Each structure stands twice: as C-alpha cells, then as structure tokens.
C-alpha cells in the first residue's frame, strides 16, 4: 500500500476522496469503496471489504482489507492501520463456481426436469429457464427473490412445505425433499418432486441451496387412478359379498315361504280323505287349501314380476285412471286384514286426480305398500294413506305413513333393492320383493318412490310420485 505524507504525518489514506483511491482501485469499485471509507471515518470504526486493485504491472487483483483510522485529539486522522490479503485466486475460483452453477442450470432444464440455486446471503433464487417460464416468472430478472417460487405452491401444500424447510434449516440438515403442487401457466397445478442440498457456513447459517425438481404429475395421476381402482374394487367386492349374502338369505326365505303353504296343503289334502264330502270340516279344509294356493300364486307372481322388471319385459296398458278412486277401492279391500290384526287404516282422498297408467299395476303398487305397512305395524298401530296433488311439479303424490317398527338408517339406501330385508323383519314373512316391484312399476310410469324413517320404533313414511295426466 502506498504511503502518503501530509504535514509531517504519515497517512496510508488521509480521506475518502484521496487520489490514491482513484489511481489504484478499479473504477467500477471506486463508488462503493468511497462510501465504505466515508462511513468508517464518520463512525470511527473498522473498515472491512473486498475490492479490486490495479497493480503496478497493470494486472487487476482482488484484495480483502481490514483497516481502521486513528484520530488525534482534534478528531483528525493521523494514520490508517490495517492489513490486506490477495484473494484473487479465491475470487477466480468463485467465478468458475458461478459459471459451473449457471451451466448446471442450463443442463438440468426441460419441461419435466428443472433446477434451482438459492443464495441466502443475497436472498436470491435462480431457476432454470424452462421452468421459470412454466411458473410464470419469466418477467422477473435472472435472479428472483427466493420467496417468489413459494408463491406458486398450491395453498393446500404451502404450509406443509414451508414448515419442512424451516425445520430443515433449524436442524442444520443438509438435505430437504418433498412432493407438492405448483401452479404452471400451461397445465395449471402439477405435482413436482423437489430435492435440495443446503450449504452452511462454519456458524451453521445457511449460505446456499442447490436443488432439482421433477414433474411427477403423470405418476401422481396414475397413483390416484390406481387408488380409485382399488377403492372401486373393494366396493365391488363388498357388493358381491352383500349380493351373495342376499342370495343365501333369499334361498332360505324362499324355502320357508314355499314349505309352509305346501305343508298346510298336504295336511289339508290328507284331512279331506277322512271327512265327509260337503261337511263343515270339508268346506273349512278346502278354504285352507284355497288360501294357501293363493299365497303360493302370489309368491310365484312376485318372482315372475321381479324377473320381468330386470329384463324390461313388463308391458303397460295405459288408460286414464282416477287415483283417488283407485286408492279408496284398494283401502276397502284391505280393511278386513287390518281389522283382524288390530291396526287402524285411514285414507284421505279428494276430488278426482287423473294419471295415465296401467290400472292393474297401480293397484299392485298400492297393495304392496299397504301389505308392507301392515306387516311392520304392530297391533294398536295406525297407517294413514293420503293422495294429493303437487301442481308445481305436475305430479300426483301418494303418501303411506305408519307407526310401525321403523327402518334402520343403514337399510334405507338399499330398501328398494330385491331381497332386501332388515334382520328384525324376517319374521314378518315374504321374500323381500314387494318394494323392489313397487320401484320398478313406478319408474316404468315415469315416477319415483322414496322412504324415510327416524329409526327403529319411529315408524316409516313411503311416498310415491306419478306424473299427472
């Protein structure tokens, strides 16, 4: 360092605007050096910094200097004391490292693979060009604030990734990796896998991070599709198990339903051989045979109907039908059965309400629902049938409200499927086909049927909706 003399005092650098500054420090570094020198003088503190000097042979060298001004009692600088180190080789190495990093960013750059470099000291982040464009950051300069890439992370993933980085830096770990979604300008949110290596200084402070990220959106979509397939397969297997259970239950129930009337008919036929023709016992026995035969016919008809509905082979013979009139007649037919069980049956019918329907099938719907209500309403209970008009929807609405045993909530979604019965309702008899037949017939007429219940012991409500004529 050149020694200057002023008023008999030795000074390495008397003041910030010294000619020495202009002669030896590279012009590009002079403004910054002048500011630092002026600050050191004003604050009377140590001056540390890196800058380039022009050597005597014209060569440019990098130096790191640590100097301090000494002042007399008048506040004047008497001398600058300090040392300077030649760091040219280190700076050249750093420059080569920067160039290598730039080359790496270019090499690891495609639509599926990207790279980044984070400088914690400068709070900057460099991203490979292709991904910079994909993330919509091309308007930013070459180096962006390292918070920018975090802004394109999906809101649902942001908190998790931010916490992951903070925990990694707090623990001083060298590697951080994770999967998350980022917003791209071409495909919207896509999944990426990021792995970064973090470099710390001797005090454990993060200096730089080098990372790569890979577009794994296809992989994540495939995993999701596979997961959905597995889920669908599990649902299908569960349904198959349920169907198998229903089949076993149906076979058992069918055997029981057929055996009872057949056994009764067989016993009655044996009894007929032992009684006098035309006697009271003969007539009573024949009546038993007739009723049990009718029961068998109903079972066979139900089986045929459910089979035809499944194959779309039921043909409707439509005519103009007064739903109120049909409802009154069907209720009258059921009065005796309800009275025998001690259940009150009431109906609410108004002026004629016409629909275009198959009269026989509509009677079958009403009969099945009345029979269902009777089965599951104990003695002393009540069943209310109402026919009304929903003008806004253009529908006739038939409501069956009972005070029976109710329906378990888990059974309601499958209530109208064939062979569906609650465990506590099996003793009521039947094959579990009545409601399924109702649903099939109503839908053939362009209507809907539904059920609701507050649960066991809370009764049930069934509602049929049919288009008005």
Is the confidence at residue 7, as pLDDT, over 50? no
Give Cα separations from 53 to 62, 80, 93, 177, 461 (angstroms): 6, 18, 18, 43, 96
Is the confidence at residue 312, as pLDDT, over 80? no
**% the chain with pLDDT above 70:** 84
Task: Among 309, 330, 352, give the residue marking a domain's end.
Answer: 309
When comparing pLDDT for 303 and 154, which is higher?
Answer: 154
Closest CA to 215 of 241, 234, 187: 187
Q: What does the alpha-carbon distance between residue 303 and residue 307 come to, in Å, rounded to a whole number?
A: 6
One DSSP character per residue, 61-82 reads EEEEEEEEEEE-TTS-EEEEEE
pLDDT tens sequence across 32-49 = 878 888 887 787 778 787
146-175 mean pLDDT = 86
When comparing pLDDT for 193 and 99, which is higher?
Answer: 193
Give Cα separations from 94 to 90, 180, 297, 464 (angstroms): 6, 33, 97, 83
- Is 157 found in the same domain as 117? yes
- Is 356 found in the same domain as 329? yes
* DSSP code of residue 150: G
- Is 162 found in the same domain as 106? yes
Q: What is the pLDDT of residue 9?
A: 32
Q: Which two tokens stand for residue 464?
A: 């049929």
- Is 459 found in the same domain as 370? yes
Cα 176–chain centre separation: 28
Range of the domain at 353: 314-467
Q: Which two tokens stand for residue 111?
A: 């639509």
Is the confidence at residue 399, as pLDDT, over 90? yes
When comparing pLDDT for 55 and 367, which is higher?
Answer: 367
Secondary structure element (H or E) that encloses residue 320, with its range: strand 318-322
Q: What is the pLDDT of residue 425?
A: 47
Which residues have CB under 8 Å from 201's CB, separation 6+? 207
CATH code of 65's domain: 3.30.450.20
Q: Which two tokens stand for residue 151?
A: 């802004």
Q: What is the pLDDT of residue 245?
A: 76
Q: What does the alpha-carbon distance between residue 83 and residue 96 come to, in Å, rounded to a whole number?
A: 27
Strands (DSSP E) contained in 55-171 are 60-71, 77-86, 113-119, 124-127, 144-145
- Is 208 found in the same domain as 227? no
Do β-strands 382-390 and 344-348 pair in parallel, antiparallel, or remain unpaired? parallel
433 three-state secondary structure: coil
Q: What does the alpha-carbon distance between residue 40 and residue 62 come to, in Å, rounded to a whole number?
A: 21
- Is 10 found in the same domain as 135? no
- Is 164 found in the same domain as 75? no
Long-range contacts of residues 128-134, Cβ cutoff 8 Å, at least 24 apart: 129/105, 131/213, 133/185, 134/184, 134/185, 134/186
Is the confidence at residue 84, as pLDDT, over 80? no
55-67 mean pLDDT = 80
Task: Among 86, 120, 155, give the residue marking a domain's end.
Answer: 86
Give Cα separations from 130 to 20, 116, 133, 139, 315 (angstroms): 47, 11, 5, 13, 65
- Is 125 found in the same domain as 79? no
Q: What is the pLDDT of residue 326?
A: 94
Q: Are 457 and 388 in contact (CB under 8 A)?
A: no
Q: Which two tokens stand for residue 366?
A: 């009403």
Measured from the Cβ of residue 292, the count of other Cβ atoms closer than 10 Å reads: 19
271 three-state secondary structure: helix
270-292 mean pLDDT = 84
9 three-state secondary structure: strand
- Is 341 found in the same domain as 237? no
* pTM of the predicted structure, to 2 decimals: 0.47
Q: What is the pLDDT of residue 377?
A: 93
Task: Among 215, 235, 265, give the residue marking a domain's end.
Answer: 215
Q: What does the alpha-carbon distance between residue 330 and residue 364 come to, in Å, rounded to a whole number?
A: 9
Half-sphere exposure of 316 (CA within 13 A, CB side): 20
Instruction: For the chain, give the mean pLDDT.
Output: 81
CATH code of 441's domain: 3.30.565.10
Q: What is the pLDDT of residue 343?
A: 94
Half-sphere exposure of 258 (CA within 13 A, CB side): 9
CA dihedral 408, 410, 415, 417 (to 10 degrees): -150
Res. 10 pLDDT band, cuts 50 70 90 = very low
Q: Which two tokens stand for residue 96?
A: 């080569």
When comparing pLDDT for 416 and 1, which is higher?
Answer: 416
Q: What does the alpha-carbon distance between residue 275 and residue 59 come to, in Å, rounded to a whole number?
A: 138
- Is 318 found in the same domain as 305? no
105-113 mean pLDDT = 66
109 three-state secondary structure: coil
pLDDT winner (highest mean) among 39-43, 227-231, 279-283, 401-405: 401-405
pLDDT winner (highest mean) among 51-60, 373-382, 417-426: 373-382
Q: Are 65 and 84 in contact (CB under 8 A)?
A: yes
- Is 378 found in the same domain as 340? yes
- Is 110 found in the same domain as 189? yes
Give Cα separations from 80 to 54, 61, 430 (angstroms): 20, 21, 110
Look at the chain and report how many structural domains it folds into.
4
CATH code of 234's domain: 1.10.287.130
Q: Are 200 and 182 in contact (CB under 8 A)?
A: no
């Amino acid at each position: 360092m050149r020694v200057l003399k002023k008023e008999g005092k030795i000074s390495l650098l008397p003041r910030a605007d010294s000619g020495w500054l202009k002669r030896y420090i590279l012009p590009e570094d002079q403004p910054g050096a002048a500011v630092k020198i002026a600050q050191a003088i004003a604050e009377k503190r140590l001056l540390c910094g890196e800058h380039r000097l022009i050597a005597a042979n014209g060569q440019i060298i990098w130096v790191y200097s640590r100097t301090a001004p000494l002042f007399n009692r008048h506040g004047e600088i008497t001398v600058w004391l300090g040392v300077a180190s030649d760091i040219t080789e280190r700076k050249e190495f750093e420059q080569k490292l920067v160039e290598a990093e730039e080359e790496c960013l270019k090499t690891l750059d495609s639509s599926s693979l990207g790279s980044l470099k984070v400088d914690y000291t400068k709070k900057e982040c460099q991203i490979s060009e292709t991904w910079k464009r994909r993330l919509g950051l091309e308007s930013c300069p070459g180096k962006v604030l390292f918070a920018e890439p975090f802004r394109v992370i999906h809101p649902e993933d942001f908190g998790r990734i931010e916490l992951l980085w903070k925990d990694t830096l707090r623990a001083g770990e060298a590697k951080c990796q994770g999967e998350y979604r980022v917003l791209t300008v071409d495909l919207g949110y896509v999944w990426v896998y990021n792995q970064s290596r973090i470099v710390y200084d001797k005090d454990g402070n993060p200096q730089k991070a080098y990372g790569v990220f890979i577009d794994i959106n296809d992989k994540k979509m495939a995993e999701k599709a596979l997961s959905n397939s597995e889920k669908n397969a599990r649902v299908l297997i569960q349904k198959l198990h349920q169907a198998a259970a229903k089949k076993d239950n149906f076979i058992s129930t069918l055997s029981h339903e057929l055996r009872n009337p057949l056994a009764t008919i067989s016993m009655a036929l044996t009894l007929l051989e032992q009684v006098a023709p035309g006697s009271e016992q003969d007539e009573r026995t024949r009546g038993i045979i007739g009723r049990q035969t009718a029961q068998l016919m109903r079972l066979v008809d139900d089986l045929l109907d459910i089979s035809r509905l499944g194959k779309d082979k039921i043909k409707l013979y439509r005519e103009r039908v007064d739903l109120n009139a049909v409802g009154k007649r069907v209720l009258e037919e059921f009065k005796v059965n309800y009275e025998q069980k001690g259940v009150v049956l009431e109906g609410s019918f108004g002026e004629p309400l016409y629909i275009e329907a198959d009269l026989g099938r509509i009677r079958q719907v009403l009969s099945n629902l009345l029979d269902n209500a009777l089965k599951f309403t104990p003695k002393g209970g009540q069943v209310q049938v109402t026919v009304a008009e929903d003008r806004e929807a253009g529908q006739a609405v038939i409501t069956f409200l009972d005070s029976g045993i109710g329906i378990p909530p888990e059974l309601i979604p499958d209530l109208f499927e064939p062979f569906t019965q609650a465990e506590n309702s099996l003793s009521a008899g039947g094959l579990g086909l009545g409601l399924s037949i109702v649903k099939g017939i109503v839908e053939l007429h362009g209507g809907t049927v539904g059920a609701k219940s507050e649960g066991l012991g809370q009764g049930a409500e069934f509602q049929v909706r049919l288009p008005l004529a």
